[in-house]
Amino acid sequence: MDPRATLRWVTIVRGVGDFDDGPLVPGFQMEQTLALRGVPFHVHWTLVEVEAPFFARWEGRGPARSRAVIEDRLTPRVGGTRFEYSNSFRAPFGPLGSVASRAAVGGIPEKEALASLRQLKAILEGEPKAQPHPGARPSP
């Protein structure tokens, strides 16, 4: 749940900007620079619900009034822990914006989400290749 850790495993994150100090509580905010198809954009995230370390729900605002919601959930299992991740995105401009978004990015968000989960798995399993992805760099 460390905002800086997203640089290591979320493949579309290019930088983590300002974020609140202190524990993750509802209202905690952070800025990220993300990129799809090589185009960077900024998202302002607010933590709206948290049951640390088992659950977090973030709501994000991006360019042109776009919105996103991310939920992370950890569930204890025999022999390990199950990680569930959901990410929903609402394009600006209603149905027309949704059509344009699908045309512009196609299946890239799903591919990137799966790549991010593979990277997280490699980090958690201690694989040596689990390094920050090539585009990642801290934001000022």
**Contacts of residue 16, Cβ cutoff 8 Å, sequence gap at least 6:** 3, 4, 6, 7, 30, 31, 32, 33, 138, 139
pTM of the predicted model as reported, rounded to 2 decimal places? 0.75
pLDDT cut 90: percent of the chain above it: 36
The CATH number of 3-124, from 1.20.20.10, 3.40.50.10470, 3.30.530.20, 3.90.550.10, is: 3.30.530.20
Judged against a pLDDT cut of 90, whether residue 131 lies above it is answered with no
